A and B are shown apart, each in its own frame.
Chain A
Amino acid sequence: MSDAAGSAVDYLPELSTLAAVRPLTAAESLFHLDMPHRALGHHPGQFVQVSLPGIGEAPISIASSPTRPAGFDLCIRRAGNVTEAIHRLKPGAKIGIRGPFGRGVPIDDCMGRNVVIIAGGLGLAPLRSLIQYITDHRSRFKAVTILIGARTPETLLFPDEYGAWRSRDIKVEVTVDVSKETWLGHVGVITNLISRIDVDPDTTVSIVCGPPIMYRFVLRKLARRNLQNDHIYLSLERRMKCGMGKCGHCQINGLYVCLEGPVFRYDRIAHLPEAL
């Protein structure tokens, strides 16, 4: 008991400063934040609790790699009170941060292997952290493929960065659900892209993040490409209030997404009926 009391953690946000805002789509912008007193010290795939006093807190995944100096990026969609308010902020504004929280992508399990990153919609935001990490340590990974799906070309995230990723010997394939005639790329669901790439089941790991509906279809397709469940990582979204395994909102059966996730190895959650 005294141990718990001694090492207990408070819910106090730390101060960060909004350094820059880059609009990405009609609904999403990229916010670059600086913490004056410390580095965030996160792993790709982790998240922070972002807050504005009087408005509230929201869990947001970190969209930049810890290998990038000075600050971190959050890709935020306008979806509620807090995110709406953050979208109204100008550079120089102060934002509260708690975290980082959760377990991110196990980088060690990806090193020395082929990596297939599958991102649907806003799912590219947390995976950008991993992608940047890979581009900064490219030699530690074998073949790297990024499959990106979006509803329309206009809702694609970070299209101006794909060129830089490709220049680091990364294959980037993009598809949209609906397009106009000006779109020259793939049209259709993201699973179509999985059929088009080489997958060596022994040496490949896949990391998947997207809307809830996407996982079942992607997993079925990956199984058809003979990728074992213990080579697949899923980043799952749930409601979170505390980030410390207390408030109960993020529970998937008996697991707390904020402690044991948000990135899970698929074989460890495949038996959980509430996971997917």
Chain B
Amino acid sequence: MRLLFLPENHVLPLARLLAARYRFWGPAAKGGAFVFEEIADVSRLRLDYSTTLLPPKQAFLPPREILARIDIETHECRSPARPGKPIALFGVHPCDLHGLAHLDLAMGEPPADAPYWRARKDAFIVGLACVQRCMPESFCDSVESHRAGGPFDWMFTPVAGGYVVELRGEAGEREASESGLFEVAGESWKKNYDETRDRIEKTFSGRRLNLASLSSDLERSFQDGWWEKLADRCFSCGACTAVCPTCVCFDVQDEIAEGCRMAERCRSWDSCLIRNFAEVAGGENFRKLRSERLRHRMMRQGAYLAGRFGLPVFCVGCGRCPHACLGKISPLEAFEHSRKFPIRRYAQRLVEHIKNGVTRHE
């Protein structure tokens, strides 16, 4: 691990250098909140941001994207042109770095997703350590995503007077040396760096989950009547999946363009919470109940995708979904409940449920 020091007043010059070579994305203030977006004027960069409304996922998986452009007459088709410059993501907090790592797994599993990787391949990613909790709903410490991880080229940790920067990989070394803005990290910086890291560990020490058993706890609680109770607070709006750094589900629709000469096959973010998500053409809906859809999302985050990629959990605890949810439903709540859920009560409830034919919400 190689550490360098970047003085505070070198941050903007560095951002300018990157902005010349990359499409520069970073956190900026917008309408009383922070957003991750492409920034033309790097002085808008706000490294003091708490969290952003949407994760940086949209840099590589935009809300709407053309997969193919097809000539309606000739059927000749092509994928949209590769954007000129790769993306630099500047100032990504650890939860979102982990989120990007999970996106890479989901979109990289063979057959890998070409449109995603066209945007992602040469991207330059700069992480930024979190030294304080961003909002009460976040639970990054419970899912161990409060530490640096994931696909960063540089990892910034704030210290007095600037940042200690961890360099990783060839691109990280190259960009650092070409910039000429970094300084060798001296002993006092290193001490300061260790202190900051200790402080981070103390700040994020409210761990509440047993990750080793999370996926089996969830799978065991599958038939629990509690999911229906939780779903009483769900409006099937899909806000949770839209703000999620690891949700990748999408819909594909054709749209007409260029005066009816071309069709654009577009994908757009979809949500497994939406009623018709699992409905087939014949009308059968495989997750008709709201509780089934809510449970499915929690299972994806805590069990299914985690198991698929050999991780303890797929959720990164950023807290955006409970923050966006009208009913304040948090994965943490579901994960914790699954652990407490006793088998005996499950049996009892199931019997009651079958006997009474409890009202179900579609």
Contact = CB atoms under 8 A, between A and B. Distances in A.
Interface residues of A, number: 45
Contact of A8 (B68, B114, B265, B287): B114
A247 B77 contact: no
A249 B277 contact: yes
Contact of B270 (A11, A56, A244, A247): A247
B281 A83 contact: yes
A247 B249 contact: yes
Contact of B113 (A9, A54, A212, A249): A9
Contacts of B336: none
Interface in A2-33: 2-5, 7-13, 15
B229 interface: no
A240 to B, nearest CB: 9
Given A53-B254, A238-B280, A10 B67 contact: yes
B101 to A, nearest CB: 10
Interface stretch (B1-9, B137-145, B296-304, B354-362): B296-304
A252 B117 CA distance: 26
A135 B104 CA distance: 45
Contact of A273 (B111, B223, B255, B270): B223
Contact of A4 (B112, B250, B253): B112
Contact of A10 (B71, B79, B253): B79
A254 B252 contact: no
Given A9-B111, A15-B75, A80 B252 contact: no
Interface in A86-136: 94, 96
B79 A12 contact: yes
A8 B79 CA distance: 13
Contacts of A54: 70, 72, 254-256, 260, 263
Given A10-B68, A56-B254, A241-B251, A246 B286 contact: no
B296 A251 contact: yes
Contacts of A10: 67-68, 79, 114-115
Nearest to A15: B75
Contacts of A239: 277-280, 286
Nearest to A1: B104
A55 B252 CA distance: 11
Contacts of B77: 12-13, 53, 96
A79 B67 contact: no
A212 B280 CA distance: 11
A248 interface: yes
A58 interface: yes
B72 A53 contact: yes
B108 interface: yes
B109 interface: yes
A12 B71 CA distance: 12
A274 interface: yes
A211 B111 CA distance: 29
A251 to B, nearest CB: 7
A248 B254 contact: no
A197 B248 CA distance: 47
A276 B22 CA distance: 49
B83 interface: no
Interface string A66-83: 000000000001011001
A249 B278 contact: yes
A246 B253 contact: no
Given A13-B70, A53-B70, A253-B299, A96 B75 contact: yes
B111 A237 contact: no
A201 interface: no
A274 B286 contact: yes
B70 A246 contact: no
A242 interface: yes
B281 A8 contact: no
Given A1-B104, A5-B112, A12 B72 contact: no
A34 interface: no
B178 interface: no
Q: Report, nearest first, the 9 A-B pairs whose CB atoms are least far apart.
A: A248-B249, A4-B108, A254-B304, A53-B263, A8-B114, A79-B281, A53-B70, A54-B263, A8-B112
Given A51-B254, A79-B282, 9 more contacts: A1-B121, A8-B112, A53-B75, A56-B253, A237-B282, A244-B113, A246-B107, A247-B250, A251-B300
10 contacts: A4-B117, A8-B113, A11-B67, A54-B70, A238-B286, A239-B277, A244-B113, A246-B248, A247-B267, A251-B304
